[in-house]
Chain A
Amino acid sequence: MSALLMAMGERARELGIPFNVHLDLTYRCNEKCVHCYLDHHDHGELTTAEIKNLLKEMAEAGVFILTLSGGEIFLRKDFFEILEVARELTFCVKLKTNAVLIREAQAARLGELGVQSLQVSIYSHRPEVHDSITKLPGSLKRSIAAIRLLKAQGLKVTIANVLMRSNMQDIYGVRALAKELGVECTLDPAVSPMLDGDRSILALNTDESVLREIIHDPSFTPNVEEFCAPPAPASEESMDAFPCSAGHNACYISPYGEFYPCVAFPLSCGNVRQQRFIDIWRNSEQLKEVRSIRLRDLSGCSQCVHGATCTRCPGMAFLEGNMRGPSTADCEKSYARTGIASKNLLAKKDKPSPLRLVQIQLVPAIMGSRLTGIGASAS
């Protein structure tokens, strides 16, 4: 993100403007990814008219960046009708898709409509690995073909990968594929719990040693020394900082109109079917509570050595049971980064915990992989 865009986001926060909205158009999907946090059944999606009205309300409220995601957005038959309205309302539109349904005509229309960027999910450069994660035969081939079409339209594309046991050997292969395609590549280091709180898919995560190896790899972390340094004590200023943009200048709307602070923070603040978007943004008691959270109020994290530098996600903490509590996934990232256990991890270590069962999968070996051999370890 450019410095100017960050500055504008901060200005929006000061003005109380919802600068950045993530709108999921559907949870239906043509892929059935093993790590997906969504229930793919349709429980009554917003209609075309409801979405058009919502877009108008959001434009009036000052929303600038609009991320349209799902589910798979191209499964909505009215997708281009929605996108046309969004662009007429001059949103900066970003799309998240698996791109499987994008052919030449769709790519050309996306180019005409001036979409700012697309994020395409790719989990491996090898069809047998990618397609086994998406459960859709031929999906890698189709996604790659679509990326080439999008690039030919001059569109900005980013490949989004998620680190799991089943694809950890392929992270360098995906990066090489991105380079060949002339696109950016991101790696999410962990699977998220399902939005209904089910944490069983976390078993797909790699163990800490893999995460540590990747974080300490200068090709993934340009400033390893600084990033992985022991944490500095929290300053007075950092104690009063708010944790992230969720509810401050950003929010999320589900396909059913539910309003959350963030896609990863399923705290219902209202429903755009019952209330105007701006009324929820301004008056929701839940959002006011989210906005009130400061590091100094967090019972455990405020005294933790990682307090000032932790990437603690309040949504993950909420899914763990307390939005003012720690997010263990972020504690684990801090540990992988610095080798220093958080207050929360130390407390967990002192308590007897149920045996963590991890499914051990046979990972096809790659000659020369820097991660070969790690796949057999279990924690």
Chain B
Amino acid sequence: MIKPLYLARSRRIAARKLGEEILVMSARGSTLFTLNPTATILWQAADGATPLERIVESKICSEYEVNPEQALLDAESLVEDLAKHGILLISEKPIAESSGYGEERP
């Protein structure tokens, strides 16, 4: 059985909604990103308590006509990428709200 994956927004980033996009700057390297619609959904749902599988099921599969298994694989790849850039924190356990400053992947 695949272990659940939890995600939380890093507190070391700067972010703002600009029109339909979300602009995110990572503290590490001051790299700037704009999130695409799927990344925006994951970003907004990243509360540290809801597993990725449930986010994909409730926010992506309900919105788009996609294969749930493929959607989850794509979402895992995307959150891994966002975590590498210090934008999201990911963990196999729920992530406390106070986490985030200075933390990389737990």
Q: How far is the CB of B65 from chain A (nearest CB, A)?
A: 30
Asked if B30 and A15 sit within 8 Å, CB to CB, the answer is no
Residue of A nearest to B15 (CB): A90
One of A1-9, A170-178, A258-266 at the interface: A1-9
Assuming the contacts A87-B11, A112-B101, asked whether A62 and B30 have C-beta atoms less than 8 A apart, the reply is no
CA–CA, A335 to B13, complex, Å? Answer: 43
Asked if A92 and B18 sit within 8 Å, CB to CB, the answer is no
Residue of B nearest to A12 (CB): B18
Assuming the contacts A92-B25, A116-B25, asked whether A8 and B14 have C-beta atoms less than 8 A apart, the reply is no
Q: Which residues of A contact B (CB under 8 A)?
A: 2, 4-5, 8, 11-12, 15, 17, 19, 59, 62-64, 87-88, 90-93, 111-117, 156
Asked if B101 and A114 sit within 8 Å, CB to CB, the answer is yes
Q: How far is the CB of B10 from chain A (nearest CB, A)?
A: 9
Asked if B102 and A93 sit within 8 Å, CB to CB, the answer is no
Asked if A8 and B34 sit within 8 Å, CB to CB, the answer is yes
Name the contact of A11 in the complex, choosing from B14, B15, B18, B30 (C-beta under 8 A): B18
Residues of B within 8 A of A90 (CB): 13-16
Assuming the contacts A12-B18, A64-B14, asked whether A117 and B101 have C-beta atoms less than 8 A apart, the reply is no
Place the interface of chain B in its size category: 10 to 19
Q: Which residues of B contact A (CB under 8 A)?
A: 11-19, 21, 23, 25, 27, 30, 32, 34, 101-102
CA–CA, A92 to B32, complex, Å? Answer: 11
Asked if B23 and A15 sit within 8 Å, CB to CB, the answer is no
Residue of A nearest to B31 (CB): A2
Asked if A114 and B11 sit within 8 Å, CB to CB, the answer is yes
Name the contact of B18 in the complex, choosing from A64, A88, A113, A114 (C-beta under 8 A): A64
Residue of B nearest to A91 (CB): B14
Asked if B30 and A8 sit within 8 Å, CB to CB, the answer is no
CA–CA, A88 to B15, complex, Å? Answer: 10
Asked if B32 and A4 sit within 8 Å, CB to CB, the answer is yes
Asked if A15 and B101 sit within 8 Å, CB to CB, the answer is no
Assuming the contacts A11-B19, A92-B25, asked whether A4 and B34 have C-beta atoms less than 8 A apart, the reply is yes
Asked if B18 and A15 sit within 8 Å, CB to CB, the answer is yes
Q: How far is the CB of B81 from chain A (nearest CB, A)?
A: 17
Residues of B within 8 A of A111 (CB): 102
Asked if A114 and B30 sit within 8 Å, CB to CB, the answer is no
CA–CA, A62 to B18, complex, Å? Answer: 7
Q: How far is the CB of B15 from chain A (nearest CB, A)?
A: 5
Q: How far is the CB of B62 from chain A (nearest CB, A)?
A: 27
Residues of A within 8 A of B13 (CB): 90, 114
Residue of A nearest to B26 (CB): A114
5 contacts between A and B (CB under 8 A): A4-B34, A12-B18, A59-B16, A62-B18, A114-B13
Asked if A8 and B32 sit within 8 Å, CB to CB, the answer is yes
CA–CA, A245 to B27, complex, Å? Answer: 25
CA–CA, A59 to B18, complex, Å? Answer: 11
CA–CA, A116 to B34, complex, Å? Answer: 17
Q: How far is the CB of A54 from chain B (nearest CB, A)?
A: 16
Give the top 6 A-B pairs by smallest Cβ distance, nearest first: A92-B14, A114-B27, A114-B12, A64-B16, A90-B15, A4-B32
